[in-house]
Amino acid sequence: MPNAVVEQELKKKPPKRPTTSPTQPKDRRKVKLYRLPIPDELLDDSDPDVELRVTLSYFAEANKFGRRVFHGLDLKWDMQGPQESEDDFLERINKLKRLKTPGGQLKRVATTKGFNWEIGPQARSRGTVQSDRWCGKMSAIAGDKLIAVVPVLGWRDQRRSLKTQEMSFSLVVSVFGPGVYTAIKLRVEAEMAIPVEV
């Protein structure tokens, strides 16, 4: 995942000369989205208990300046809540998706629609191995819930050659509940069939 992607954006004022480019380069941070494929067919009258664990791991390229340690690029993750639509989730994690008020201010987004995680987004985002757990009913995670991995500021912003450099990460999602493994195994294998050279 790159720290930023350079995109061409129209200038606020059109250029006076016809030979001048009407666009300018703009750095954008891109969110990576993944779907957790829990089929609705797993729901029954009992609505069994399940456990959900999400772990994000990456190497942050730590660099020490004085007494503080700065990371080249930090990541964080979030997940679409049980009562949250995809559009609401994207607005919550991405300011560019939010509507503006008549006064030009960004519309406030409700933060209570997410899962009630054991650690929580603030505490888990402090390290390079970010793991959290949620326990609840199957109905809360049924359907294709989105999981977002978001790049955060780092010292790579100060170096033009590293600003768009890719960084690897791993995202592991585990769901423990009756029938979950057999229900999603075939779908995950079909969508994530990656050839490995031996």
Check residues 124 and 101 and name the one with the higher pLDDT. Answer: 124
Judged on CB neighbours under 10 Å (0-12, 13-18, 19+), 177 is: middle
Q: Is there a domain that residue 178 lies in?
A: yes
What's the confidence (pLDDT) of residue 162? 63
Specify the number of domains making up the chain.
1
**Whether the model pTM is above 0.85:** no
Range of the domain at 121: 5-11+31-191
Q: Is there a domain that residue 24 lies in?
A: no
Pick the range with the lowest mean pLDDT from 5-9, 54-58, 124-128.
Answer: 5-9
* Buried/exposed code over 75-102 (b: 16+ C-beta within 10 A; e: otherwise): bbbbbbbbebeeeebbbbbeeeeeeeee
What's the confidence (pLDDT) of residue 1? 57
Query: Is the predicted pLDDT of residue 67 greater than 90, yes or no?
Result: no
What's the confidence (pLDDT) of residue 51? 92
Q: Is there a domain that residue 22 lies in?
A: no
Q: Is there a domain that residue 56 lies in?
A: yes
Structure tokens of 7?
């995109």
Pick the closest to residue 90 from 140, 142, 33, 139 (CA basis): 33
Q: Is there a domain that residue 110 lies in?
A: yes
What's the confidence (pLDDT) of residue 85? 86
What's the confidence (pLDDT) of residue 147? 92
| pLDDT tens digits along 111-160 | 667 788 999 888 888 878 999 999 998 888 888 889 999 888 765 566 66
Q: Is there a domain that residue 26 lies in?
A: no
Q: Is there a domain that residue 133 lies in?
A: yes
What's the rounded mean pLDDT across residues 177-193?
Answer: 72
Structure tokens of 114?
């997410």
How far is residue 163's CA from residue 156's CA, in Å, rounded to a whole number?
5
Q: Is there a domain that residue 158 lies in?
A: yes
